[in-house]
Structure 1
């Protein structure tokens, strides 16, 4: 028996094998930038104050001390993202009691690299996907894609009762590291971002870890410059406005309220927010906006400490820990990303 209630059937995570300690990242950045960028001494404290202990990276630390162009970066992206895709997706399917042949639709999100054919096609034979699988590769949603992509996968599952939808989120943020960018955003990105992947199976067919109740997004007008990429021959270059935390504090609650209202819900209906931890200042802005006690987002801070900001999959790492801790009756996953946009998915505790 199936109905239109979509369940989160399984969840799995993956990270590259290379680990960069934050202390080593700070020391290496000082060697690379301090003698070339006068403002570095004023920014160096971000490595110690970011709340990050370690991060996983697509390449060893020494790789980042040498110049790399677009081809180097995309070759690394294709190699490592493929390995993470297989690891995370295979584990999610195994936990759901499925194989690649059981997947009817796959939604893949990533904004830190490009492959054509897309990853799902490149790995179809290895994963055992059927020839009639529906593929939805999505690029450009950035940090919000972990929630937005989850929402897309949910709607695909709801529109196809009984289908198994695989959602995969992969980001290799470290490959955007720039030796040539002597800017504040680049130094902050060097201190903040890491690499990782997450995968989920969504379906109306089976019992699950949680029921997906609603999905929604909000696009803020006249905000294109807050976050994104500039692209040149060297690769991606970070666009990151210093005003992001105060913008989040002022705007996140009205945006999430509007999304919830469209689903017949309100802020007071949410027992726990599960947030993408974009950084300590953004988490503090969320706590202030939703009138929560400072330090409320303890799981989010724990994930940030262990992995850094991995962009889109980070919220799935938070979700895994929230599930392990025990979900309350209703949770809301939320994230902000380029556009500038907010995304929200509400989850109900599995019956």
Structure 2
């Protein structure tokens, strides 16, 4: 158990005691006139009040205590053969659409061990709500139960609950289902997020951090997706792509501002940044749920998506760089830009990006699709070693939407990359179009946990994939 025995603000008590002691010493030993003594003591006490005010209002350190990722049973694994069988059984795809999905799947970067939703395995394909509830409950309850068990944190200790699922918003909410299932206390602050896309894992950590920095407690973040509910039947190719790359995944993370947990926590969250590019129509429409004009509802990933992701990334890192990069790298970057401008090479100047490897040892970049990973790697100038975790995560689990950052973080831990003091940059994109970064630092050497999602497959990775 990790009860709150004291607040971090109590560290100001020794400061107060020392100030009182010093005041008494000065009062009896210094050869000051009574007026000078009064003035000095007043000044000293004003300083003490200022120090106490600082310690009582400064932001608390926020720790990522641990996290758990859900892995369905092996008989729910999804390969090309299963997808083709499902397509033939449904009898709802034209030969042209089937051929298109087959081609997309083969070059998607997904392997044969991703997980399909329960919806695919049921006989009645017209019934979508019951399997969606099963998918959400299985993922959320399994991940939360595993997390609370291994951290020894009881549900009544949770002060904030954040649940996110972009495409499934039942009544009562998913947050209420978690409260009911685990019997959280009545004053828990619950947030139910929807429509935020793949960025919600990083966005949820940012939200939890902002709450915990001012209010000591524990925050539980649960991120999931109901892929079966949004399976698309039709001939719109932008919508058919989602059938090929999105797969089942759920993660639960526990964050805290309890200083007593520092020795057992994995990471400290240092900085976060969210940028929203939805004011531009192309960015807003890059990924959107819509009607295909024939009564079919699906999520369309347009051809502009990769270009929008690249433009959003450039805008995002221009805001992030001054906050995280060392002064030496900022100076080198500025010199490269100025030199290109002087030479009249304005396109080259615009293409320059800082070297973020000077600020981070590890980059947990968005694994939403092969094209997006390629674009991020190309724009940032990352080598194969840096983008390997994203490629492997896409291959093993597919695009699990909001939870993908935790599956990828699991790869870093399973391969023994994370050492004490290492800085990790978590980057995710979402519909709208949004970019979100979370920067954290490892508090210890992080090894593969017994419930790590890679425990049964990491020995086969990394794979040599066709890029």
- Alpha-carbon distance between aligned partners in 1 of 2:186 and 2:93, rounded to the nearest angstrom: 55
Q: Tell me the SS of whatever aligns to 2:176.
A: helix
The 1:136/1:260 distance shift into structure 2, 3 A limit, reads: farther
Contact 1:279 1:304 in 2 (8 A): yes
Instruction: Quote the offset at 1:76 in angstroms.
Output: 2.2
- Alpha-carbon distance between aligned partners in 2 of 1:278 and 1:247, rounded to the nearest angstrom: 14
Match of 2:109 among 42, 51, 54: 51
Once the two structures are superposed, what CA deviation does each residue of 1:231-287 show, in whole Å capped at 9, x if it has no partner? Answer: 699785112112222332343133133135356777341222112201111111111
Match of 1:310 among 393, 396, 400: 400
Contact 1:23 1:47 in 2 (8 A): yes
Instruction: Quote the offset at 1:108 in angstroms.
Output: 0.7
- Alpha-carbon distance between aligned partners in 1 of 2:150 and 2:211, rounded to the nearest angstrom: 21
The 1:128/1:279 distance shift into structure 2, 3 A limit, reads: same
- Which residue does the alignment assign to 2:46? none
- Alpha-carbon distance between aligned partners in 1 of 2:291 and 2:101, rounded to the nearest angstrom: 24
Structure 2 unpaired stretches of 5+: 1-5, 9-59, 331-355, 445-467
The 1:151/1:238 distance shift into structure 2, 3 A limit, reads: same
Once the two structures are superposed, what CA deviation does each residue of 1:196-251 show, in whole Å capped at 9, x if it has no partner? Answer: 10001100111210100011111113121101222699785112112222332343
- Alpha-carbon distance between aligned partners in 2 of 1:77 and 1:42, rounded to the nearest angstrom: 26
- Which residue does the alignment assign to 2:132? 77
Pair 1:253-2:253 in alignment: no
Deviates more, 1:18-27 or 1:5-14: 18-27
Q: Tell me the SS of whatever aligns to 1:270.
A: coil
Deviates more, 1:243-252 or 1:48-57: 243-252
Match of 2:219 among 155, 158, 165: 165
Q: How does 1:87-126 map to 2 (within 5 A)?
A: 87-126=142-181
Instruction: Quote the offset at 1:292 in angstroms.
Output: 0.8
The 1:58/1:30 distance shift into structure 2, 3 A limit, reads: closer
Q: Tell me the SS of whatever aligns to 1:104.
A: strand
Pair 1:184-2:234 in alignment: no
- Alpha-carbon distance between aligned partners in 1 of 2:360 and 2:380, rounded to the nearest angstrom: 11
- Alpha-carbon distance between aligned partners in 2 of 1:153 and 1:35, rounded to the nearest angstrom: 43
Q: Tell me the SS of whatever aligns to 1:165.
A: strand
- Alpha-carbon distance between aligned partners in 2 of 1:29 and 1:256, rounded to the nearest angstrom: 42
Cα RMSD over matched residues? 2.6
Q: TM-score, normalised by structure 1?
A: 0.89
The 1:257/1:22 distance shift into structure 2, 3 A limit, reads: farther
Q: TM-score, normalised by structure 2?
A: 0.68
- Which residue does the alignment assign to 1:11? 67
Q: How does 1:223-238 map to 2 (within 5 A)?
A: 223-230=283-290, 236-238=297-299
The 1:83/1:29 distance shift into structure 2, 3 A limit, reads: closer
Deviates more, 1:35-44 or 1:198-207: 35-44
The 1:160/1:261 distance shift into structure 2, 3 A limit, reads: same
Pair 1:197-2:197 in alignment: no
Aligned length: 345
Q: Which has the higher strand share?
A: 1
- Alpha-carbon distance between aligned partners in 2 of 1:194 and 1:175, rounded to the nearest angstrom: 12
Match of 1:138 among 193, 199, 215: 193
- Alpha-carbon distance between aligned partners in 2 of 1:170 and 1:144, rounded to the nearest angstrom: 12
Q: Tell me the SS of whatever aligns to 1:348.
A: strand
Q: Which has the higher helix share?
A: 2
Once the two structures are superposed, what CA deviation does each residue of 1:156-195 show, in whole Å capped at 9, x if it has no partner? Answer: 221212x01101001122321122x211123211111101
